[in-house]
Structure formats: C-alpha cells, structure tokens
C-alpha cells in the first residue's frame, strides 16, 4: 500500500464501523481507546505505519481543537476526504447519541446511591485507559534510550509544573536538532 488513500468502498465501510465501535468504547475521550485504534489501523488493517500513527497523533495534539482530530487525519490517510468524513462521523455520531441518552438518565437518577457509585467506578477505568494510551505512544515513538529519557522528562515536566506542554515539546525539538535524540 502506498502513502496515499486506498479509496475502496470496503475500506470506507470498515473505517466507519470501526470508529463507531471506538466511539461507544471511548469513556473519557478518544485518548482512552488510542491503543485499540492503533492496533486496528496499524496491525490489523495495515492502513499506516506506527510512525505515521504517532505523527498524526502529534499533529492532532498541537493543533487547536479537540484530540479527536487524530481520527479525521487517520480517515484522510486511509481514503481521502471521504475517509475523513466517515471516520469523523463514526467517532462522533454514536457517542453523541449515547451522551444525549446518558444526560437524560443522569438528570433522572443522579441522586441515587447506585448511580453515584457507578460514576465513581468509571474514574479508574478512564485513568487506566489513558495510561495505556500513553504507554502505546511511548512504545511506538521512542526508539532509543535518549528518546525514552526525553519522554520521561516531558511527562515529569507536565506533571510537576504548570507550564504549557509546548515548552517541553520545544526542548525536545531542540535536543533533536542538535542530535542528542
């Protein structure tokens, strides 16, 4: 497969179905299902390399807007404009409907003890899914001891300071330019 879109009907259908499924599984946002998206688009379907996936994720992170932009970029890569539209509709549509239904349920049941317990129970699930996504991105992007150190340093910078994460990205870029990473 080349670098440009495949553009087959089968890929569009598969793209839409996969992202519709991810939409319903993404408790806490698209970041929580990133490892499964990676597995599906890189390992199962071979639509892109791990490096391309990480690049699209990085672009979506630094661009203004929501994290879900990575899905649009993946769709574009797989099938051009049609792929971008299908993937975006797939990730936003089902979760949008589910959010509407859940908000109606929350308005009705939020004072009940079992419902508050259910909400609290989703917190560790979401944290675990976000950590799994971070591990996947680190594993795919880090290729040397130096790159692992830069990743760990960036994580520490973000966790321990209130400075914008783009400062850490700039430092990492500078290290790459001078050849240390």
- On whether the pTM is more than 0.85, the answer is no
Judge whether 45 and 112 are in contact, CB under 8 Å.
no
CA distance 107 to 75: 35
Judge whether 120 and 22 are in contact, CB under 8 Å.
no
Per-residue pLDDT at 4 exceeds 60? no
Per-residue pLDDT at 142 exceeds 80? no
Handedness of CA 169, 163, 153, 71 (dihedral sign): negative
Question: Which of the pair, 170 or 71, is modelled with greater confidence?
Answer: 71
Per-residue pLDDT at 5 exceeds 70? no
Lookup: tokens for 20: 């519709």
Q: What is the DSSP string of 123-146?
A: HHHHHHHHHHHHHHHHHHH--SHH
Q: How many CB atoms lie within 10 A of CB 55?
A: 15
Mean pLDDT of 54-68: 88
Mean pLDDT of 37-61: 93
Backbone angles phi, psi at 158, to 5 degrees: -65, -40
104-137 burial: b if 16+ Cβ within 10 Å, else e:
eeeeeeeeeeeeeeeeeeeeeeeeebeebbeebb
Judge whether 79 and 5 are in contact, CB under 8 Å.
yes
List pLDDT tens digits, range 85-137. 999 999 999 999 998 998 998 888 888 899 889 889 988 988 888 888 888 87
Judge whether 109 and 78 are in contact, CB under 8 Å.
no
DSSP run (H or E) holding 113: helix 113-141
pLDDT band, very low/low/confident/very high, at 2 (cuts 50, 70, 90): very low
The pLDDT value given to residue 116: 87
């Amino acid at each position: 497969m080349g670098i440009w879109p495949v553009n087959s009907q089968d890929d569009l259908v598969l793209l839409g179905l996969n992202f519709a499924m991810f939409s319903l599984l993404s408790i806490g946002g698209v970041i929580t299902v990133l490892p499964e998206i990676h597995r599906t688009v890189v390992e199962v379907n071979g639509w892109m390399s791990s490096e391309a996936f990480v690049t699209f994720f990085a672009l979506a992170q630094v661009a203004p807007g929501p994290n879900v932009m990575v899905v649009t970029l993946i769709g574009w890569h797989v099938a051009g404009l049609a792929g971008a539209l299908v993937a975006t509709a797939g990730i936003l549509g089902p979760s949008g409907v589910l959010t509407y239904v859940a908000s109606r349920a929350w308005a009705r049941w939020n004072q009940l003890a079992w419902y508050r317990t259910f909400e609290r129970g989703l917190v560790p699930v979401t944290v675990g899914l976000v950590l799994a996504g971070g591990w996947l991105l680190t594993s795919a992007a880090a290729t040397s001891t130096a790159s692992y150190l830069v990743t760990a340093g960036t994580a520490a910078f973000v966790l321990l300071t209130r400075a914008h994460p783009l400062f850490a990205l700039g430092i990492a870029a500078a290290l790459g330019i001078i050849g240390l990473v």
